[in-house]
């Protein structure tokens, strides 16, 4: 990724600095629409299970609102929906995730109206999502792919939110690709080309339409170290996806973000290097309070505290299950990400 560290006339697509280094960005935000995290009052999120917030009107264990079976919603439904935080099954990690942590929206047990949060979180991510069915099939017939999440937002969310959500004080956050790289890891394709076409579809069909709706401040997250997930550590033939495949995806995302920033000089475009940061956390686990980075509790989804089943406390684990992160790991990401966003501000 070394070639990506360059300054553009727009906001350069930047990476988080390595573990334990200063959180100052490599290059400054030169967009004509400067970003200021302290002035950000709204976050609109898209992605998969790493990012969704469970809503009272969302499909169970999948989303804040709607599904592919019923993607539309009324203004009254959107405004009456609540983020639901429970001990089990309210997220893919049994507690708040990174997007809830950085907004402090939906982190407390019970129900939360996004409009009451320090930073309002309007989350259209869907558990199990890929980018588009052009390249990969739905996980389930109720899944909402990324290009459909953004269409859902533009068709049904934006007409409501535009009345009180100020686009100039809004960050659009996108974390996608975890399922894309996993679902395609055994396809007979040229992976760099496949990933690039998939990400091209994302920018053409999701990012550009939302930008055209007036949203100029963007955060992208690259892939976590899926090659170091518990199943991959013991896979006889080696990890799938492996580190090289993850690098190919991340390099393509970086290239597209650079190009988008260069073509839209009024856009602030940031990439948080979740891969480098989380690899550093895994390599320095005890400094972050982790005692187990190679396994997970098999009883992770049971109703009682996992210690009742002979496991360590969930806080001790980096991995929640075969591919998801614990809420502790999400909180570690959020803390570093907040430093990154403040460093990029103005």
Q: What tens digit of pLDDT does each residue of 79-131 get? A: 999 999 975 555 667 899 999 999 999 999 999 999 999 999 999 999 999 99
Provide the whole-model pTM: 0.92
Q: What tens digit of pLDDT does each residue of 291-302 get? A: 999 999 999 988
The torsion of the CA quartet 17, 14, 169, 122, rounded to 10 degrees, works out to: -80
**Consecutive H or E run containing 2:** none
Q: What tens digit of pLDDT does each residue of 33-72 get? A: 789 999 999 999 999 999 999 999 999 999 999 999 999 9
**CATH number for region 2-344:** 3.40.50.1110
**What pLDDT is recorded for position 238?**
96
d(CA 86, CA 121): 17
- Check pLDDT > 60 for residue 273: yes
- Strands 42-47 and 170-175 come out as parallel
Q: Residue 343's Cα: distance from chain center in Å?
A: 20
The stretches of 94-222 forming alpha helices (DSSP H) are 98-103, 146-152, 158-161, 178-183, 191-202, 208-212
Q: What tens digit of pLDDT does each residue of 134-147 get? A: 999 999 999 999 99
**CB-CB contact of 160 with 78 (8 Å):** yes
Q: Break the chain down into helix, strand, coil percent, rounded to 5.
A: 40, 15, 50
The torsion of the CA quartet 139, 142, 145, 151, rounded to 10 degrees, works out to: 170
% pLDDT > 70, the chain = 89
The stretches of 81-190 forming alpha helices (DSSP H) are 98-103, 146-152, 158-161, 178-183
d(CA 199, CA 81): 31
CA separation (Å) from 89 to 55, 56, 141, 168, 322? 12, 13, 20, 34, 16
**What pLDDT is recorded for position 16?**
38
The stretches of 243-326 forming alpha helices (DSSP H) are 243-263, 274-283
């Amino acid at each position: 990724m070394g070639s990506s560290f360059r300054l553009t006339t727009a906001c350069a697509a930047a990476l988080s600095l390595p573990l334990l280094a200063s959180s100052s960005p490599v290059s400054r935000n030169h967009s004509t629409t400067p970003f200021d995290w302290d002035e950000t009052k709204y976050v609109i999120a898209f992605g998969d299970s790493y990012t969704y917030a469970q809503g009272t009107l969302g499909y169970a264990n999948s989303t804040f609102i709607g599904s592919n079976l019923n993607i539309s919603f009324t203004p009254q439904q959107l405004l009456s929906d609540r983020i639901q935080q429970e001990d089990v099954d309210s997220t893919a990690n049994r507690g708040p995730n990174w997007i809830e942590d950085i907004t402090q929206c939906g982190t407390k047990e019970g129900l939360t109206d996004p409009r009451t949060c320090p930073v309002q979180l309007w989350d259209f991510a869907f558990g199990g999502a890929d980018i588009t069915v052009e390249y990969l099939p739905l996980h389930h017939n109720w899944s909402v792919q990324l290009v459909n999440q953004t269409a859902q937002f533009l068709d049904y969310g934006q007409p409501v939110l535009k009345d009180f959500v100020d686009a100039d004080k809004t960050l659009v956050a996108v974390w996608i690709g975890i399922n894309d790289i996993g679902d395609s890891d055994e396809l007979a394709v040229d992976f760099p080309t496949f990933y690039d076409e998939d990400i091209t579809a994302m920018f053409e069909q999701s990012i550009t339409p939302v930008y055209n709706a007036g949203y100029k401040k963007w955060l992208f997250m690259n892939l976590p170290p899926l090659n170091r997930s518990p199943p991959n550590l013991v896979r006889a033939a080696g990890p799938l996806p492996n580190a090289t495949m993850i690098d190919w995806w991340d390099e393509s995302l970086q290239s597209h973000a650079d190009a988008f920033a260069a073509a839209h000089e009024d856009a602030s475009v940031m990439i948080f290097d979740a891969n480098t940061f989380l690899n550093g956390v895994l390599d320095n686990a005890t400094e972050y309070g982790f005692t187990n980075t190679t396994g997970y509790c098999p009883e992770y989804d049971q109703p009682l505290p996992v210690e009742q089943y002979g496991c360590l406390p969930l806080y001790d684990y980096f991995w929640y299950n075969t591919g998801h992160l614990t809420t502790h790991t999400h909180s570690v990401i959020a803390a570093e990400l907040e430093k990154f966003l403040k460093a990029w501000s103005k």
